[in-house]
Amino acid sequence: MKKKKNIQHSEENKISELTDQLLRKQAEIENICKRFESEKISIFKYANENLILDLLPVLDNFKRSTDHLPKDLAENNWAKGIKLIEKQLEDVLTQNGLERIDAKIGDEFDHNIHEAIENLPADRQGEGDKISEIVLDGYKLNEKIIRPTKIKVGK
């Protein structure tokens, strides 16, 4: 009788041990699936990042050309066409998750979204660490900063 109880107790321990192992393996599989799903979402979210980074200089050059268009050519059909192409490029990039980082002269310098390429003397007291000039727009792709705004800062 005592031997039977020992065997039963041993079997119960074994069942408990195997049940515990099974639960751990199930949790491990669930964690792997969650991690895989998260990585898959990230891959799809940022799949175009390199292409978009390659297109940003093109967008910058369109912007420079339209910003420096002589006033007497503003109503020229060719110039209007260039502006439409610039707008179309901006729209396509926006539809793919690109967002321009909002920066204005006088805003506080934020090292998380700005890259100071030059320190300028502040004109007045209290203007230190403020944006003095925006040299190049910065962009986010689906909330991830892919290019900080390049600025000049008053010190």
pLDDT at 154 over 70: yes
Give the model's confidence band at 45: pLDDT under 50 very low, under 70 low, under 90 confident, else very high: confident
Using DSSP bridges, classify how beta strands 149-154 and 130-136 pair: parallel, antiparallel or unpaired: antiparallel
- Of 109, 104, 84, 99, the C-alpha closest to 145 is 99
Task: Enter the CATH code of domain 100-155.
Answer: 2.30.22.10
Query: Is the pTM of the predicted complex or chain greater than 0.75?
Result: no
pLDDT per residue as tens digits for the range 55-68:
999 999 999 999 88
Lowest average pLDDT, out of 57-66, 109-118, 126-135, 143-152, goes to 126-135
Domain boundaries, the chain: 1-45, 47-96, 100-155
Backbone angles phi, psi at 139, to 5 degrees: -140, 150
